[in-house]
Structure 1
Amino acid sequence: MQRICVIGGSRYFGKLLVERLQATGHQVTVINRGSTRPPAGVEQLVVDRNDEPTLLAALGSRTFDVVVDQVCYTPVQAAIAARAFAGRTRRYVMTSTIEVYDPATAALPAVPAGTPVPEDSVDPATWLVAMDLPWHDEAYLEAHYAEGKRQAEAVLTRAGGFAFASVRSAHVLGGAQEFTGRLAHYVERIRQGEEVTVHEKALPTVFIHYEELADLLLWAATATEFTGPVNACSDGPLDVCDLAAIVAAQAGREPVHRVVAAGETASPFSFDRHYAMSNTRAKKLGWAFSRTIDWLPGAVAEALTTSATPAA
């Protein structure tokens, strides 16, 4: 049994992670703002992680084997966490994102289309951190989501008070709690015979099922000691037309595409730039990924059922 602290953990794969940590016998504490209660037997500290004095008071004398941070979006949040948990945990795992590799959001090394992007394309040990940017402004943070994640990783990498690892997640799909609405976008439009906008030369991206991501985070927290970033994506990149075809097959309809030029806004997961991740490092560390085409039809079928169910 290990003592695990999860920051966030109130929805989607974070909620599932908490449930699976508890089911595997770990002593779990969650830190969040209290909008959702955790399962019975899980300790909850209701506190705003951005309020450092209150966070420290809530933590008291608690120590943990591992902290899993599900909701770190800025270097400011990362710096607060680094101070709060230095000497309080031996390991810190942050959930990060494929978006750190988006070449539209930073000057990154060029990776030829078709070549999976490795972790060292964004090295948090050398990434510039700017604490004085308006990270507390919600509109700014939304517009600079990828950069916030890059800088948060950089702060925690250099903190030195614990061993640090980040899990850079692919686009997450599956489950009734999927809150981004991206898969629902395809389900609804294709079901109703409406067009899906795609780039003329849409490039592939990578995905992961929410259950697989929860399991991988559990593994990263409790069963391995790697440090640094690791990419988390199922095997088999898909482009937007592949995705639409799978949705159409489940819906019994034909997809209708409208092509837009590079640089124009298209449907979710239509990309005119390449940043599909490599999952080689995670495999070398011992993780065996599923194949996207094996679980995606089921996720689509679930989304179709959810969208067809009348609201209560």
Structure 2
Amino acid sequence: MKTALVLGGTRFFGKELVRSLLSRGVDVTVATRGKSGNPFGEEVKQLIADRYDIDSLKTACGGFHFDVVYDQIGYSSEDINIAYEALKDQVGKYVFTSTMSVYEYGNLLNEEEFNPFTYPLQIVKSQEVSYGEGKKLAETALFSKTGLPAVSVRIPIVLGEEDYTERLLFHVKKIKNGEDIGMPNPEARLNFISASEAGEFLAWIGTQDFTGPVNACANGDIQLSELINLIESKLEKSAILTTDITDENRSPYGIKETWTMDNSKAKNLGYEFSNLKDWLPGLIDYYNEII
């Protein structure tokens, strides 16, 4: 890979993707609406474009060719169609950031649990469907584009110091402030990926011959009660858990059943994931310090 276009790469793990590409010597172009600024300065080319407007994207990218396009901000089949029509003759490979939300609850879910090649295709806007359904239809639309090598990377909840969703920070704050946390099933298990590893994996998979869906997550999972215990030990304070869920106390991790993925396909391709429990405690330390 010599050149890459990143659709949405100026915050959270999109920034890590760009950093990983730059470290590999890739000539990176970032296409954004320009509202989040450019954290990379002259290290990258920046195109001002509305990724959700075909004319805007086509005009901004006219005359360029990219070995790989990374789509960080596609949420529906219509989004995929817009990017495809604008870029189809200018890209060699399409890497789409998908999600574990294409799966129903389950343990060690593998890629065959959702098959975008047989799923009924509907062209919808992201506002018309749920997040998970939008990603399902986005994958389905992407893999219907014959002749375009494509990968959908299914990732779980991403954790990192620059996490604008503040989902892990929510739990740290609640425990530190002695406020209750609404969690329907503390025995459920989740797995995660760090922002840096999400970016690194996306950059890596773009260099592989592989096409199709692939799961990407850190090795290992964690029971939600164990996560709460870990935060308690770092803060030296006890959590107040409740099954009386309100808008104010609802845990962003408040799943009803275990929801984890199997990353063995990516491992068999040659990628070595980190171990969740090697870095999660340090991230909790960081959040504890900043509040």
Question: Normalising to structure 2: TM-score of the pair?
Answer: 0.93
- Aligned equivalent of 1:127: 119
Give the letter for the 1:179 counterpart: Y
* Residue 156 (1) aligns with residue 165 (2): no
Query: Residues of 2 paired with 1:180 and 1:81: CA distance?
Result: 26
Change in 2 beyond 3 A, CA 1:161/1:49 = farther
- Aligned equivalent of 2:7: 7
Number of matched pairs: 286
How far did residue 33 of structure 1 move? 0.5
Query: Residues of 2 paired with 1:83 and 1:202: CA distance?
Result: 46
Query: Residues of 2 paired with 1:258 and 1:126: CA distance?
Result: 41
How far did residue 15 of structure 1 move? 1.1
- Aligned equivalent of 2:52: 50
Give the letter for the 1:271 counterpart: I
Query: Residues of 1 paired with 2:222 and 2:18: CA distance?
Result: 30
How far did residue 184 of structure 1 move? 1.1
RMSD: 1.8
Query: Residues of 2 paired with 1:229 and 1:302: CA distance?
Result: 33
Q: Residue deviations 1:110-133, cap 9 Å, x none?
A: x5xxx41001111111112222x4
* Residue 189 (1) aligns with residue 169 (2): no
Is the Cα contact below 8 Å between 1:202 and 1:272 reproduced in 2?
no
How far did residue 194 of structure 1 move? 2.1
Is the Cα contact below 8 Å between 1:98 and 1:168 reproduced in 2?
yes
Is the Cα contact below 8 Å between 2:189 and 2:257 reproduced in 1?
no
Give the letter for the 1:13 counterpart: F
- Aligned equivalent of 1:107: none
Task: Spell out the pairing of 1:104-183 with structure 2 (5 A cutoff).
Answer: 111=106, 115-131=107-123, 133=124, 135=125, 137=127, 140=128, 144-175=130-161, 177-183=162-168
Query: Residues of 1 paired with 2:286 and 2:259: CA distance?
Result: 28
Is the Cα contact below 8 Å between 1:195 and 1:255 reproduced in 2?
yes
- Aligned equivalent of 1:37: 38
Compare 189-198 and 203-212 and name the one that shifted more: 189-198
Task: Spell out the pairing of 1:8-23 with structure 2 (5 A cutoff).
Answer: 8-23=8-23
Q: Residue deviations 1:37-65, cap 9 Å, x none?
A: 14123111101011112211111121111
Is the Cα contact below 8 Å between 1:119 and 1:229 reproduced in 2?
yes
Runs of 4+, deviation exceeding 6 Å:
none
Question: Normalising to structure 1: TM-score of the pair?
Answer: 0.87
3-state SS of paired residue (1:159): coil
Is the Cα contact below 8 Å between 2:126 and 2:134 reproduced in 1?
no
For structure 2, the 5+ residue unaligned runs are: none
Query: Residues of 2 paired with 1:83 and 1:34: CA distance?
Result: 22
3-state SS of paired residue (2:116): coil
1:270 to 254, 262, 267: 254
Query: Residues of 2 paired with 1:102 and 1:191: CA distance?
Result: 33
